[in-house]
Structure 1
Amino acid sequence: MSDPNAGYDVVILGGGSGGYASAFRAAELGMTVALIEKDKVGGTCLHRGCIPTKALLHAGEVADTTRDSEDFGVLAEFKGIDMAAVNKYKDGIVAKMYKGLQGLFKANKVDIINGTGKLVGPNTIAVDNGRTVTGKHLVLATGSYSKTLPGLDIDGDRIITSEHALELTELPKKAIVIGGGVIGVEFASAWKSLGVEVEIIEGLPRLVAAEDADTSKQLERAFRKRGIKFHTGKFFEKVEKTASGVQVTIAGGTVVEGDVVLVAVGRGPVTANCGYEDQGVNMDRGFVLTDENLLTNLPNVYAVGDIVPGIQLAHRGFAQGIFVAEHIAGLNPVPIDETGIPRVTFTEPEVASMGLNEDKAKEQYGAENIKTVNYNLAGNGKSNILRTQGFIKLVAVEDGPIVGIHMVGARISEQIGEAELIYNWEGYANDVAQLIHMHPTQNEAIGEAAMALAGKPLHVHD
């Protein structure tokens, strides 16, 4: 461990994905590192987000498979959901990963300082445990929180956030989800699989509106087939508690009733009362502004993760944390291309994407210069085995690289790796088409889509 009185090379405020990635990489590069965290290292992703949510989704997948087991010739009886056992499974995964993460802090000799930190100088953070920690370089990584809207008073009982939803000991009979983005549709999907009636209210014209329009249509089609109701293009007007649950009135006067309301309207940056504005850090609507090297306007003060404007994803935080450590070390890392960050929504079916959607590609390159192909998974053997519907859509510049890959289907997230390589290495359709893709896998659907885009389709279903 380092001598705290001598100061550190790097001091990090926040122990989530971006914070601890920066800590580990800086330590690997020979720097002395302290990380200040008010809760548990691992942040929202490990304890209240990515990991427990995906465990819940997998439990739902098992439930769906059990219900449909006779379709595969397997005789099994579905007896229901034991939420105590589901929570034990979910919490066990989190606990195991948390223990492993704590071991990595020890192995990397990173000092963990427990407490709430506040920026009080360009090189100094005061902690509410009475300590003052100084560093040659500071990394701000305070993460995000579940937002709400006026008229949505979170009580943790009937009006809840995703954090509360992960702690439910009993499933509601019906849940109303306000927000049809990633968090909203993932919980809607998981709950439906676990036997909950679900209704989504989304003010934007379509679900997962940040994705390609064809992706939204496919997910909406799948949700209708599964019996998940949704209202798009309509905002809620008021939420009222009733004797038996909650009542939501949406634009146009439609009233929806349920046992609980999940507020899933996005996440905001945790920057209030952190001392950032007091010290003159440039801010915009609560977010910390940085240059392409993730430096703030204060010398030697960086920011990473959800407090930096952009898509809020754990792996973005990892990448930014590593980048900052290497920048501090003088390794001149390549600045992160935000468009080159993979995106997955773990619904049933899953949604995965890379690069530009069709509309943004047309804006950037001109509609006349963009060509697309939409390969239907009906032509893919493994997708038929999995009994999933969906597609692989490629968006390319005429006589140029593939600039967008959009996928919908069960377990399709496993194909995001090749999609990431195609986009980030500026692959052309002909480049991908000549690669040999393993049969029978869903991965070969990417090859089929590229072959079609290159003008030599093989198994193409309209």
Structure 2
Amino acid sequence: LEDSDLGKELARAFKKRKIRTLTGAKLEEAQAGEKSVTASVTTDGKTETLEAEVLLVAVGRGPLTDGAGLEGVGVKTDRGFVTVNGACETSVPGVYAVGDCIPTPQLAHVAFAEGMLAAEHAAGKNPTPINYDAIPRCTYCVPEVAAVGLTEAQARERGHDVVAKTVSFGAIGKAVILGEGGFCKIVTAKDGPILGVHYIGPRVTELVAEAMLTVGWEAVPEDVAALIHPHPTLTESFGETALALAGRPLHTG
């Protein structure tokens, strides 16, 4: 879902806080006791029993369209998701669907945008289609994770000659004060636009909006490098990374 470098950094941050992470694990069973919960978990063929105060289940969600009468009016679905075109219009002209019942990112801000798109199209206007590659993604853990655009792997899969640069928050004064660590990573096409921006660190969910603009407007690193970012702020991480990509690093090597 996110750039692999973000996952590695988050794992290190969790380990530093003595949080154990098991990836690719299968929950076999769970039992609730009076004061704790035990869970049987299999990882790489090895099963162990874990004990904790609480068990949080986060398995995602799916569309709840069964019984809504969609088939009766001719609205097509695929595995429960309503099929729509670029204006969020269903197979029945004049009928629209937005949000979690269509196969797009299940994020509130995506649903807001889809609702506006559908309303404007229904009103006879010609709204700009949503660029789903330019939708910011935020994970509210500690440290926070935020990203927009393509991961480095996705950019390579799409055939881009990729150039990527990462600047540690250790070079950013405000981040040093906050003391959580992290980095900013920018993925670009060689001699081309910024394809993706990836953050991990304090308050990065507030920083990703600037990155969204650059990805959406297909800015090149030199465009961002020409902008002056205020000091001391976390926004400097974006400017420093762009400067490095433009061949003019300031506080980084």
TM-score, scaled relative to structure 1: 0.53
* 2:187 is equivalent to residue 395 of structure 1: yes
Structure 2 CA distance for aligned equivalents of residues 361 and 291 of structure 1: 25
Partner of residue 316 from structure 1, selected from 97, 107, 110: 110
Structure 1 CA distance for aligned equivalents of residues 238 and 205 of structure 2: 12
Structure 1 CA distance for aligned equivalents of residues 62 and 11 of structure 2: 26
Match of 1:377 in 2: 169
Give the structure with higher Rg (CA).
1
Match of 2:133 in 1: 339
Partner of residue 427 from structure 1, selected from 194, 205, 219: 219
1:352·1:408 contact (CA, 8 Å) conserved in 2? yes
1:354 offset after TM fit, Å? Answer: 0.5
* 2:212 is equivalent to residue 212 of structure 1: no
Structure 1 CA distance for aligned equivalents of residues 114 and 79 of structure 2: 21
Match of 2:40 in 1: 249
1:363 offset after TM fit, Å? Answer: 0.4
Match of 1:325 in 2: 119
Match of 2:25 in 1: 234
Can you give the 5+ residue segments of structure 2 that lack an aligned partner in the other structure?
none
Structure 1 CA distance for aligned equivalents of residues 203 and 11 of structure 2: 17
Between Structure 1 and Structure 2, which shows a larger proportion of helix residues? 1
Question: Which amino acid is the alignment partner of residue 425 of structure 1?
Answer: W
Question: Residue 319 of structure 1 aligns to a residue in which SS?
Answer: helix
Runs of 4+ in 1 over 4 A off after TM superposition: none
Structure 1 CA distance for aligned equivalents of residues 53 and 232 of structure 2: 44
Structure 1 CA distance for aligned equivalents of residues 71 and 57 of structure 2: 29
* Two-structure CA RMSD over aligned residues (Å): 1.3
1:376 offset after TM fit, Å? Answer: 0.5
Question: Which amino acid is the alignment partner of residue 116 of structure 2?
Answer: I
Question: Residue 224 of structure 1 aligns to a residue in which SS?
Answer: helix
Question: Residue 231 of structure 1 aligns to a residue in which SS?
Answer: coil
Match of 1:197 in 2: none
Question: Which amino acid is the alignment partner of residue 175 of structure 2?
Answer: S
Structure 2 CA distance for aligned equivalents of residues 339 and 371 of structure 1: 18
Can you give the 5+ residue segments of structure 1 that lack an aligned partner in the other structure?
1-209
Question: Residue 385 of structure 1 aligns to a residue in which SS?
Answer: helix
1:243 offset after TM fit, Å? Answer: 5.2
1:273 offset after TM fit, Å? Answer: 2.0
Count of residue pairs the alignment pairs up: 250
Structure 2 CA distance for aligned equivalents of residues 445 and 243 of structure 1: 48
Match of 2:143 in 1: 349
Structure 2 CA distance for aligned equivalents of residues 449 and 441 of structure 1: 14
Question: Which amino acid is the alignment partner of residue 247 of structure 1?
Answer: T
Match of 2:234 in 1: 442
* 2:160 is equivalent to residue 405 of structure 1: no
* 2:86 is equivalent to residue 295 of structure 1: no
Change (3 A) 1:374 1:287: same
1:215·1:407 contact (CA, 8 Å) conserved in 2? yes
Match of 2:53 in 1: 259
Moved more, 243-252 or 439-448: 243-252
* 2:68 is equivalent to residue 277 of structure 1: no
Structure 2 CA distance for aligned equivalents of residues 237 and 290 of structure 1: 38
Change (3 A) 1:295 1:211: same
Correspondence 1:32-431 to 2 at 5 A:
210-242=1-33, 244-251=35-42, 252-366=46-160, 369-431=161-223
Structure 2 CA distance for aligned equivalents of residues 425 and 260 of structure 1: 45
1:365·1:397 contact (CA, 8 Å) conserved in 2? no
1:283·1:289 contact (CA, 8 Å) conserved in 2? yes
TM-score, scaled relative to structure 2: 0.95
1:246·1:258 contact (CA, 8 Å) conserved in 2? yes
Question: Which amino acid is the alignment partner of residue 94 of structure 2?
Answer: N
Structure 2 CA distance for aligned equivalents of residues 420 and 344 of structure 1: 12
1:401·1:428 contact (CA, 8 Å) conserved in 2? yes
Structure 1 CA distance for aligned equivalents of residues 61 and 198 of structure 2: 24
Question: Residue 216 of structure 1 aligns to a residue in which SS?
Answer: helix
Question: Residue 301 of structure 1 aligns to a residue in which SS?
Answer: coil
Question: Residue 207 of structure 2 aligns to a residue in which SS?
Answer: helix
Question: Residue 22 of structure 2 aligns to a residue in which SS?
Answer: strand
Question: Which amino acid is the alignment partner of residue 202 of structure 2?
Answer: A
